[in-house]
Amino acid sequence: MARSLTASRVRILLLVVLMAAGAGSAFAQSAGDDDAALDPAEPDFTVVNIPTTLRLPLHAGTFHLTHRFAGNLRQGSFGDQASNLFGLDQGAIIGFEYRYGVARHLEAAAYRSSFDRTIQLYGKYDAIHQAASNPVSVSGLVSVEGANNFRERFAPALGAVVSREIQDRVALYAVPIWVHNSAAAAGVDRDTFYVGLGGRVRIMSTTYLVGEFSPRAAGYAPGDVEYGFGIEKRVGGHVFQLTFANTFGTTFGQLARGGTPQSLYLGFNLTRKFF
């Protein structure tokens, strides 16, 4: 039977949304701050898997595609890897996301991954943007995901993203996230608190190196620490990223469960901005 969220958990999620909305009156940027302006140090809404503080203009949208090939690059010889085109012949875990700016500095997103047929619904409120008076940007996150097309094993999550840009070349991120019911697949009621740490470095005018890892600070922590790295190219409204990671996971709950030991998977992310 599909498992439903308790009323208390729903109230917690609603409370966080209301708190974020209230924070907006104190911290939202001035009307002259253009959310649609290109930020050369932060071209996308994720590093590899963890979120960033990039803002989405009001009533604008983005489409995001994730692809993780199933071939483990840490198994077999180079010849074995070349024979199956470095994992491309072994299937893939694919995800699709649409993100929409429902209010100024407030984004809503729906994401579906073929990994456990997981659907994630989440919101991000970009409360503080780095400026002369603010040394960092801060965004609040609220999410709920469910496996089997949102029918079971629900996992709500709360978190934040704190970023610091150095000129227009470097962006650094700290992403603390709490996930409830992170061990549902094992039939155990547990929580996980982890902190995603990542960065992006612009090495050419539109080319970047990206990297992240997400150590678990408390709670359920199977597998290895999630990590990912890659190279990224920005072309107009498109951002393409060639990635390497030790997990198929892309949702907050999947990242809480860590990476697969002795594994490395080739993949890519593709984002199209409609603004």
- At 204, give phi and psi (nearest 5°): -140, 180
- Per-residue pLDDT tens for 204-259? 999 999 999 999 999 999 999 999 999 999 999 999 999 999 999 999 999 999 99
Assign 78 a pLDDT band (cuts: 50, 70, 90).
confident
Assigned fold of 7-27+44-274? Porin (2.40.160)
- At 48, give phi and psi (nearest 5°): -115, -60
Give the dihedral sign, CA 179/58/117/87: negative
Q: Domain limits of the chain?
A: 7-27+44-274
Token pair of 6 as six digits = 């308790």
- Per-residue pLDDT tens for 132-142? 999 999 999 99
pTM to 2 decimal places? 0.86
Q: Report which DSSP code applies to 194.
A: E
Asked if 194 contacts 215 with a C-beta cutoff of 8 angstroms, the reply is yes
CB-count burial class (<10 Å; 0-12, 13-18, 19+) for 121 = middle
Token pair of 119 as six digits = 């659907």
